[in-house]
């Protein structure tokens, strides 16, 4: 073992010396944490600033990457100390997951729980990760998903929703890398596995919402048999998506060292591969980005390799040759850490809040988990080369990339722009002749003066800057000429306009009309068409100095506008009309005096040739104006009217009114802004009712209305309307009583009034009505003038007495009787129509009528039913008609006095053997004067009006 390590160290030292000139970065130790502890894992979720650390003996720590504050959470997990913790993955300040071989623990807001037990994760766990890079596809979930690698596939646990997602593939799985930009795992289902002597292990890269499958190798005589760590580089540190599948390289470590193959060719070991750090005991592979703002020319990705003998880092593969991708890697030993054993590597960044793969993310450090503590290394890019090296990053806008010198005419400019493929940052400073230009820090620069221009490009993540290539600008003398014309020139239609400047044989000329070249290349232009004209003059090839644009118009006589001396006229007035041409003649070149012709209703007024016209008749007038070149224009028609106001007429809403009414007075014309309405009462202006077409008044008097035109002095008045109010009618109501005022009995009400028509609240219209219920009755009398008067009369009827005697029963079979008792307090009782007292005795079945009268004379009646009911009738069940003088007849007691009783006896076949109406003579056992045979007979006994029917059996014995 000692010999193999010695050979390995010697090989490494030899490699370092041989390629030292290729080293393009360095690392410096910035801080040491948890000194003396064996740090197993160090991981940082990329949503916050917290690093979670797992140490030997189940130590769990949290470190704030900004403040370096350390918090020890080991005591929270002491209940699970029997399990050896093997991995850790944190989501935030208060959420972390810890894996042991046989357990998965969640620590959320101070509470530790078993996730594996809850969701039956099986079998043992080998690694954890936070799913970030593969977001949004069907293979993974990135809504705070925890990746849990086991021998039966990768579980995906949604931390926010506390949901365990189904395993996509049941196969041995492991998570190699899980960062904000690099996620790599083995899940068993992507292996293409072509037949050869080497084992192809599936490796899945999750990149920018896409899943790629490739192979890493074990077996044979070269590749070893155990994968200790795996990683991939994405093809271009500046733009990871650029030719990803062609340029991506896979890295994996076995007991034989570090291997590399090309992703797109990993299906076959016959394709060339590379082998580094042979025999090294490698624990972790990672990488760090640098100078990403500088595009493909300077952007770097350096591999980080942790071993049992220290930390190694590579040169940046993307900067070693012209094609950027074909050179080999060289590895360098991190002297500041020494030969201590490295367990884990986690790249730090100032912020991960930017969008995924955004170049503004600065990877500013490396957390190294070692056997004797946790170390924070800072990258140093001072080895990148000469800081004075120029980057070809700027060019003239619109020019070929090879053009680096242009000439400018005065008053012209050119724009220099930064190529985003050479520099994608925003921190720049422009220079002219070696002096910084104040306030010029944009990605473009407008250049108007001669000079030597370049820009300094600053890395967003370090203090390094590079200068761009230089662009030179020279000045060409501008042409001198005059073009002193106003912005707008107006000519009379039909004439010719001329624009010109001095003619110089050393200059070139070209004219534009409405923004387009018109083909004229002289210093003078004659114009007959309206448009926008300008001249360009050139003193140097390709550099034209423009004049301003001059609008040239050839104007016809503008249509005149007719105006009147007053806004309106009354009938009989004289109107003065004037034809006004809106354009001032002094602003028109070649304009001539106007000539006028007037028309009324389309007929020429031959006597009118002036700009004004005296008119006394209503009609439609227009004027025709003529100027140069027989140029004429006609005005719009002007309607001249003479106002004649309508005579207002006052009307009322009713033919007559009573005292206390309000009258609604209206006029027959509508509201109009062209006139004003004035109301007067008894010749006095009613100020509060001005401008109204209707008014409401309760005062008698003489009303008039005047209408005044708002346009002139015309007015018109109404005739007087005399408004009077009549006295209201009188009414008297009298109650005519014929009977007592008991409910339901009729009472007459008689109305007497002074005149008009009557209507009762009952809807009747006669002077006398009949009512039979209590209430208030209203009579409304309306006079011919519409006056209304109401009179009320309230009647209160006595309530009728109420009877509620119960029905009664008696037994006619026993000569029974019953006493009926009415309620006390009535002055009169009638039983069956006969006056009586409060009580009434009867022994008869049927009905008894009762009528009572109270002190108010109000009556009530009731019918009481008397029905049959017997209790003490004795009917023997046997007799012996053998003429021995003992029990020879069937004697029934209790029926002797009821002549309505009916007794029937039946034999067993239903034949009647005895029947009697009344039972004064007992049955002697004979039928048709013959003795009946001994036996059992059935009897039925009824009585008129009796509810009870008596029946049973009687036995005849001899």
Residue 662 contacts residue 645 (beta carbons within 8 Å): no
Could you tell me where the DSSP H helices lie in 631-725?
none
**Please, which contacts does 419-423 make with residues 24 or more away whose CB atoms are closer than 8 Å?**
419/295, 419/392, 419/393, 419/394, 419/395, 420/295, 421/295, 421/296, 422/294, 422/295, 422/296, 422/297, 422/391, 422/392, 422/393, 422/468, 423/293, 423/294, 423/295, 423/391, 423/393, 423/457, 423/468
Q: Distances from the Cα of 553 to the Cαs of 20, 500, 943, in angstroms?
A: 79, 17, 133
Q: H or E segment at 517?
A: strand 516-517
What local confidence, expressed as pLDDT, does residue 12 receive?
Answer: 40
> Cα 590 from chain centroid?
67
- β-bridge partners, 89: 97
Q: In whole angstroms, what is the distance from residue 708 CA to residue 724 CA?
A: 28
Q: For residue range 483-496, what is the model confidence (pLDDT) as tens digits? A: 999 999 988 887 88
Tokens for 838, please give them.
């409060």
End-to-end CA gap in the chain: 142
pLDDT surpassing 60 at residue 315? yes
Tokens for 85, please give them.
């913790």
Tokens 């077996």 — which residue? 219
What local confidence, expressed as pLDDT, does residue 459 receive?
Answer: 85
Q: H or E segment at 18?
A: helix 2-18
Beta-strand ranges (E) seen in 101-245 are 103-108, 111-114, 125-130, 145-150, 153-158, 163-165, 174-178, 183-186, 198-207, 210-219, 229-233
Q: For residue range 823-848, what is the model confidence (pLDDT) as tens digits? A: 998 999 999 989 999 999 988 878 99
**Range in 148-162, 312-326, 651-665 with the lowest mean pLDDT:** 312-326
Buried b (16+ CB within 10 A) or exposed e, 280-300: bbbbbbbbbbbbbbbbebbbb
List the strands of the sheet with 747-753, edge to edge.
731-736, 747-753, 768-771
Residue 408 Ramachandran class (φ > 0 left, ψ -120 to 50 alpha, else beta) = beta
Q: Cα 680–685–690 angle (5° rounding)? A: 85
Q: In whole angstroms, what is the distance from residue 187 CA to residue 139 CA?
A: 11
Q: Distances from the Cα of 486 to the Cαs of 375, 414, 491, 533, 549, in angstroms?
A: 77, 30, 13, 12, 9
**Max CA distance (Å), the chain:** 184
* Average pLDDT value for the chain: 85
- β-bridge partners, 831: 834, 850
Tokens for 383, please give them.
């080895």
Q: For residue range 762-819, what is the model confidence (pLDDT) as tens digits? A: 999 998 998 888 889 899 988 877 777 888 988 888 888 888 989 988 776 666 788 9
The three-class DSSP label of residue 806 is coil
Higher pLDDT: 195 or 257? It is 257
What is residue 719's DSSP assignment?
P
SS3 labels along 870-928: CCCCECCCEECCCCCCCCCCECCECCCCCCCCEEEEECCCCCEEEEEECCCCCECCEEC
Tokens 């094609």 — which residue? 323
**Range in 221-235, 423-437, 503-517 with the lowest mean pLDDT:** 221-235
Task: Give the side-chain half-sphere CA count within 13 A for 711.
Answer: 16
What local confidence, expressed as pLDDT, does residue 895 receive?
Answer: 75
Q: H or E segment at 6?
A: helix 2-18
Tokens 């060289």 — which residue? 330
Backbone angles phi, psi at 954, to 5 degrees: -130, 135
Residue 743 contacts residue 797 (beta carbons within 8 Å): yes
Residue 105 contacts residue 146 (beta carbons within 8 Å): no
Q: For residue range 15-62, what is the model confidence (pLDDT) as tens digits? A: 333 333 378 889 999 999 999 999 999 998 767 889 999 999 999 999
Average pLDDT over residues 241-250: 68
Per-residue pLDDT band at 555 (split at 50, 70, 90): confident
Q: In whole angstroms, what is the distance from residue 713 CA to residue 673 CA?
A: 15
């Amino acid at each position: 073992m000692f010999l193999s390590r010695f050979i390995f160290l010697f090989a490494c030292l030899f490699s370092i010396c041989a390629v030292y000139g290729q080293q393009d970065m360095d690392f410096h130790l910035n801080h040491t944490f948890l000194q003396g502890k064996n740090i197993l894992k160090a991981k940082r979720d990329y949503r916050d600033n917290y690093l979670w650390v797992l140490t030997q003996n189940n130590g769990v720590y949290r470190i704030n990457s900004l403040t370096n504050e350390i918090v020890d959470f080991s005591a929270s997990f002491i209940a699970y100390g029997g399990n050896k913790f093997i991995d850790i993955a944190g989501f935030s300040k208060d959420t972390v997951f810890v894996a042991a071989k046989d357990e998965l623990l969640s620590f959320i807001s101070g509470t530790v729980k078993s996730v594996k037990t809850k969701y039956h994760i099986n079998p043992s766990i080998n690694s954890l990760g936070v799913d970030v890079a593969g977001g949004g596809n069907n293979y993974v979930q990135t809504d705070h998903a925890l990746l849990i690698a086991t021998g039966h596939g990768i579980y995906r646990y949604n931390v926010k929703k506390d949901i365990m997602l189904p395993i996509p593939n049941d196969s041995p799985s492991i998570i190699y890398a899980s960062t904000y930009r690099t996620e790599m795992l083995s899940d068993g289902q992507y292996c293409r596995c072509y037949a050869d002597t080497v084992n192809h292990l599936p490796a899945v890269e999750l990149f920018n919402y896409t899943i790629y499958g490739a192979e890493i190798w074990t077996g044979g005589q070269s590749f070893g048999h155990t994968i200790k760590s795996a990683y991939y580089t994405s093809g271009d540190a500046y733009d990871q998506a650029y030719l990803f599948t062609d340029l991506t390289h896979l890295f994996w470590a076995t007991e034989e060292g570090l291997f590399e193959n090309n992703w797109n060719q990993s299906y076959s070991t016959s394709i060339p591969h590379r082998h580094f750090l042979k025999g090294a005991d490698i624990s972790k592979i990672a990488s760090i980005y640098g100078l990403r703002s500088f595009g493909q020319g300077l952007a770097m990705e350096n591999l980080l390799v942790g071993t049992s003998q220290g930390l190694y880092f590579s040169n940046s593969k993307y900067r070693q040759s012209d094609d950027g991708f074909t050179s080999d890697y060289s590895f360098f030993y991190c002297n500041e850490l020494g030969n201590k054993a490295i367990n884990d590597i986690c790249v730090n960044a100032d912020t991960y809040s930017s969008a995924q793969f955004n170049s503004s993310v600065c990877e500013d450090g490396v957390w190294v988990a070692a056997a004797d503590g946790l170390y924070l290394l800072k990258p140093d890019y001072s080895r990148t080369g000469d800081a004075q090296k120029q980057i070809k990053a700027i060019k003239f806008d619109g020019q070929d990339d090879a053009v680096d010198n242009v000439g400018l005419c005065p008053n012209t400019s050119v724009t220099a722009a930064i190529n985003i493929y050479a520099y994608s940052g925003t921190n720049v400073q422009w220079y002219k002749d070696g002096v910084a230009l104040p306030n010029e820090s944009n990605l473009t620069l407008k250049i108007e003066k001669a000079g030597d221009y370049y820009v300094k490009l600053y890395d967003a993540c370090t203090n390094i800057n590079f200068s761009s290539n230089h662009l030179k600008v020279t000045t060409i003398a501008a042409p001198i000429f005059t073009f002193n014309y106003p912005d707008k020139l107006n000519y009379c239609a039909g004439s010719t306009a001329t624009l010109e400047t001095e003619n110089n044989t050393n200059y070139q000329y070209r004219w534009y009309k409405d923004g387009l070249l018109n083909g004229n290349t002289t210093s003078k232009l004659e114009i007959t068409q309206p448009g926008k004209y300008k001249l360009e003059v050139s003193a140097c090839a390709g550099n034209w100095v423009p004049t301003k644009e001059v609008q040239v118009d050839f104007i016809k006589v503008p249509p005149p506008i007719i105006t009147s001396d007053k806004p309106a006229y009354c009938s009989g007035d004289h109107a003065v009309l004037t034809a006004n041409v809106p354009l001032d003649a002094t602003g028109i070149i070649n304009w001539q005096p106007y000539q006028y012709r007037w028309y009324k209703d389309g007929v020429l007024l031959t006597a009118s040739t002036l700009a004004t016209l005296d008119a006394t008749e209503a009609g439609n007038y227009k004027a025709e104006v003529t100027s140069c070149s027989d140029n004429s224009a006609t005005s719009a028609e002007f309607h001249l009217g003479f106002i004649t106001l309508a005579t207002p007429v006052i009307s009322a809403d009713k033919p007559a009114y009573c005292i206390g009414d309000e009258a609604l007075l209206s006029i027959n014309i509508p509201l109009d802004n062209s006139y004003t309405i004035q109301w007067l009462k008894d010749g006095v202006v009613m100020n509060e009712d001005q401008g109204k077409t209707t008014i409401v008044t309760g005062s008698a008097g003489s009303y008039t209305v005047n209408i005044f035109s708002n346009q002139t002095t015309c007015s018109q008045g109404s005739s007087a309307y005399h408004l009077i109010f009549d006295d209201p009618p009188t009414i008297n109501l009298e109650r005519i009583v014929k009977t007592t005022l008991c409910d339901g009995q009729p009472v007459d009400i008689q109305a007497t009034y002074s005149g008009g028509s009557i209507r009762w609240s009952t809807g009747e219209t006669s002077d006398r009505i009949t009512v039979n219920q209590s209430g208030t009755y209203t009579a409304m009398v309306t006079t011919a003038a519409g006056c209304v008067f109401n009179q009320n009369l309230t009647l209160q009827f006595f309530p009728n007495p109420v009877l509620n005697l119960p029905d009664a029963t008696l037994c006619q079979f026993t000569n029974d009787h019953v006493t009926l008792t009415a309620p006390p307090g009535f002055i009169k009782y009638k039983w069956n129509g006969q006056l009586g007292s409060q009580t009434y005795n009867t022994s008869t079945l049927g009905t008894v009528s009762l009528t009572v009268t109270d002190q108010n004379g109000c009556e009530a009646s009731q019918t009481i039913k008397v029905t049959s009911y017997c209790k003490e009738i004795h009917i023997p069940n046997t007799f012996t008609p053998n003429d021995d003088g003992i029990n020879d007849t069937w004697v029934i007691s209790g029926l002797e006095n009821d002549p309505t009783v009916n007794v029937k006896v039946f034999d067993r076949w239903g034949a009647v053997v005895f029947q009697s109406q009344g039972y004064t003579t007992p049955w002697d056992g004979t039928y048709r004067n013959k003795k009946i045979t001994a036996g059992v007979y059935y009897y039925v006994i009824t009585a008129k009006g009796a509810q009870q029917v008596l029946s049973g059996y009687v036995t005849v014995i001899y």
